[in-house]
């Protein structure tokens, strides 16, 4: 069910990207010189779709990085809980091995 839903979303998005790229092949001037508008030092002629897709890709990467940074406290808590669970698990195992097998039914009330 999940794969069908992904397909229903991703196919139209991919089709829209392809149609946008084919329709916007004309070159545009991209300049990184804010001071000289007539003769910029850093200026490139790039197809419009490349500029737009690069901006979208940069936005996705920056947003993903920001989300990763924001979730750091949750990853830290998960690591701490995992270490605590492992410590408690090993402590319980050592306590089980310290108790003789004949004493287990008396300690658990007949249940194991």
- Give residue limits of the domains in the chain: 2-30+41-99
pLDDT in tens, 54-97: 999 999 999 999 999 999 999 999 999 999 999 999 999 999 88
Query: What's the pTM value of the predicted model, to 2 decimals?
Result: 0.65
Which of these, 23, 41, 21, 18, lies nearest to 31 by C-alpha position? 41
Composition of the chain by helix, strand, coil, percent to 5 = 70, 10, 20
Cα–Cα distance between 98 and 112 in angstroms, integer? 16
pLDDT on residue 76? 97
pLDDT on residue 106? 62
DSSP for residue 108:
T
pLDDT band at 110 (very low <50, low <70, confident <90, very high): low
pLDDT band at 41 (very low <50, low <70, confident <90, very high): confident
């Amino acid at each position: 069910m999940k794969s069908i839903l992904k397909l229903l979303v991703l196919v139209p998005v991919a089709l829209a990207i392809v149609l946008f790229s084919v329709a916007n092949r004309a070159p545009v001037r991209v300049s990184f010189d804010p001071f000289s508008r007539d003769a910029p030092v850093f200026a490139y002629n790039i197809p419009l779709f490349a500029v737009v897709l690069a901006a979208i890709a940069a936005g996705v990467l920056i947003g993903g990085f920001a989300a990763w940074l924001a979730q750091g406290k949750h990853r830290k808590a998960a690591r701490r809980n995992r270490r605590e669970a492992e410590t408690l698990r090993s402590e319980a195992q050592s306590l089980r091995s310290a108790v003789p097998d004949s004493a287990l039914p008396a300690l658990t009330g007949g249940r194991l």
